[in-house]
Amino acid sequence: MPLPEIKTILYTTSLGKHTRPVFRQAVNLAQTMKAHIIMLHVIEPIGELGHALIQNYLPEDIVKKMHDEGIDQVMQQMKTRVEKFCEEELGSLDKIVDLDIEHMIVEGNYTDSILKVAAKRNVDMIVMGSENTFGHHSQTTRQVIKGAKVPVVSVPTGKKYV
């Protein structure tokens, strides 16, 4: 029986300041396996109460415009981070590293969204951080590991990880 081939890696990011080790690991795996990376950022939708409050103060078209501009800003932030990473970390290497990265933003529950994208895009591996912003083990990571149909690489984020 042949070893499973890793062609597509789903890299999940909160775009937090401690996520670089996770991205570094995703890039390393993608380069080693010649895999495509889907860089996923999940945005939890505003709750019904919040949406109702906003609607009382702003017209629906302005709310939609603000939403769309926010999504565009997050997408640009993702692209800027990849460029900065390549410049800072890959520029010093002897060989040229060719990254095949697709940026994706979805709205929904973190765990459900990650698992849905993994299934829909038929990914072969998920790479994500193991800690939340408070330094505790991430409930989302635990739930994704439990529900995933593919291997999940959990990378420490709050420590000095090389």
- Please check whether residue 57 lies inside any domain of the structure: yes
Token pair for 51: 């949406």
| Longest distance between any two alpha carbons in the chain, whole Å | 62
Collapsing DSSP to helix, strand or coil, 40 comes out as strand
48 lies in which domain range? 41-97
Give the strand order in the sheet containing 125-129: 101-107, 36-43, 8-12, 125-129, 152-155
Q: CA–CA separation, 51 vs 64, rounded Å?
A: 11
Q: CA–CA separation, 70 vs 118, rounded Å?
A: 24
Tell me the pLDDT tens digit for each residue of 5-52: 999 999 998 877 778 888 889 988 998 999 999 999 888 776 666 666
- Please check whether residue 4 lies inside any domain of the structure: no
- Please check whether residue 62 lies inside any domain of the structure: yes
- Please check whether residue 91 lies inside any domain of the structure: yes
Closest CA to 37 of 22, 57, 59: 22
- Please check whether residue 162 lies inside any domain of the structure: no
Number of domains within the chain: 1
Q: CA–CA separation, 40 vs 50, rounded Å?
A: 25
Rg (CA), the chain: 17
Residue type, 109: N
- Please check whether residue 147 lies inside any domain of the structure: no
Closest CA to 157 of 126, 135, 127: 135
Q: Is the pTM of this model over 0.85?
A: no
Q: Binning pLDDT at 50, 70 and 90, where does residue 61 land? A: confident
Q: CA–CA separation, 118 vs 141, rounded Å?
A: 14
Tell me the pLDDT tens digit for each residue of 97-139: 677 888 888 888 999 999 999 999 999 999 999 876 665 678 9
- Please check whether residue 140 lies inside any domain of the structure: no
- Please check whether residue 54 lies inside any domain of the structure: yes
